[in-house]
Amino acid sequence: MQAFTYLSPTEVVFGKDTQCRTADYVSKYGGHRVLVVYGGSSVQKSGLLEQVCRLLDAAGLPYQTFGGAKPNPTLNHAQDGIRAAIEFQADFILAVGGGSAIDTAKAIAIGTANPAVDIWEYWSGQSVPAAALPVGVILTISAAGSETSNSAVLTNLATGSKRGLSSDLNRPKFAIMNPELTYTLPVYQVACGVTDIMMHTLDRYFNPLDNELTDAIAEALLRTVIASGRVAIGDTHDYDAMSELMWAGSLSHNGLTGLGGQPDFAVHQLGHELSAMFDTAHGASLATVWGSWARYVCKTRTARFTRYAKNVWGLENADETALALAGIRATEEYFRSIGMPTSFGENNDVGVQPDEVVLDLAYRCSFQRTRTIGSFQRLDEKDIAQIYKNANH
Ligand code: NZQ
Ligand code: ZN
Residue nearest atom 7 in ligand 1 by C-alpha distance: 71
Residue spans per domain, the chain? 11-182, 187-391
Q: Which chain residues have CB less than 5 Å from ligand 2, an ion? A: 196
Do the domains spanning 11-182 and 187-391 agree at the CATH topology level? no
Ligand at minimal distance from the CA of 279 is 1
Give residue 166's pLDDT. 97
DSSP 153: E
**C-alpha to C-alpha distance for 306 and 99, rounded to whole angstroms:** 32
Q: What is the mean pLDDT of the chain?
A: 98
From 243, 245, 231, select the one nearest 180 (Cα to Cα): 243
**C-alpha to C-alpha distance for 222 and 312, rounded to whole angstroms:** 7
Q: Report whether residue 132 contacts ligand 1, using a CB cutoff of 6 Å.
A: no
For residues 69 and 11, is the Cβ–Cβ distance under 8 A? no
Query: Nearest-5° angle of CA 105, CA 34, CA 42?
Result: 55
DSSP 37: E
Give residue 138's pLDDT. 99
Residue nearest atom 49 in ligand 1 by C-alpha distance: 144
For residues 186 and 21, is the Cβ–Cβ distance under 8 A? no
Segment 271-311, tens digit of pLDDT = 999 999 999 999 999 999 999 999 999 999 999 999 999 99
pLDDT tier at 107, thresholds 50, 70, 90: very high
Give residue 319's pLDDT. 97
Segment 65-98, tens digit of pLDDT = 999 999 999 999 999 999 999 999 999 999 999 9
Segment 205-220, tens digit of pLDDT = 999 999 999 999 999 9
Residue nearest atom 40 in ligand 1 by C-alpha distance: 144
Number of CB atoms found within 10 A of residue 131's CB: 10
**C-alpha to C-alpha distance for 197 and 251, rounded to whole angstroms:** 9
Q: Is 60 exposed, middle or buried (0-12, 13-18, 19+ CB in 10 A)?
A: exposed
User: How far does residue 392's CA lie from ligand 1's centre (Å)?
Assistant: 26
- Written as one letter, the residue type at 318 is A
From the options 3.40.47.10, 3.30.2230.10, 1.20.1090.10, 3.30.2320.50, give the CATH code of 187-391: 1.20.1090.10
User: How far does residue 61's CA lie from ligand 2's centre (Å)?
Assistant: 33
List strand residue ranges (DSSP E) for 246-348, in order: none
Q: Where would I find the H helices in 279-319?
A: 282-297, 302-313
Provide mean pLDDT across the span 115-143. 98
For domain 11-182, give the CATH number.
3.40.50.1970
For residues 204 and 218, is the Cβ–Cβ distance under 8 A? yes
Give residue 282's pLDDT. 97
**C-alpha to C-alpha distance for 221 and 313, rounded to whole angstroms:** 12
Ligand at minimal distance from the CA of 141 is 1
pLDDT tier at 389, thresholds 50, 70, 90: very high
Provide mean pLDDT across the span 154-172. 96
Residues facing 152 on adjacent strands: 165
> What is the SS3 assignment for 158-198?
CCCEEEEEECHHHCCCEEEECHHHHCCCCHHHHHHHHHHHH
Give residue 1's pLDDT. 93
Q: Which residues contact 207 (CB under 8 A, 6 or more apart)?
A: 258, 261, 262, 263, 264, 375, 376
Provide mean pLDDT across the span 120-145. 98
Q: Report whether residue 144 contacts ligand 1, using a CB cutoff of 6 Å.
A: yes
Residue nearest atom 37 in ligand 1 by C-alpha distance: 282
Q: How far is CA 185 from the centre of its chain?
A: 16
Give the β-pairing of 151-156 and 161-166.
antiparallel
Task: Give the atom of ligand 1 at the shortest distance from the alpha carbon of 43.
Answer: 4
Q: Report whether residue 304 contacts ligand 1, using a CB cutoff of 6 Å.
A: no
**C-alpha to C-alpha distance for 201 and 195, rounded to whole angstroms:** 10
Provide mean pLDDT across the span 255-265. 96
pLDDT tier at 111, thresholds 50, 70, 90: very high
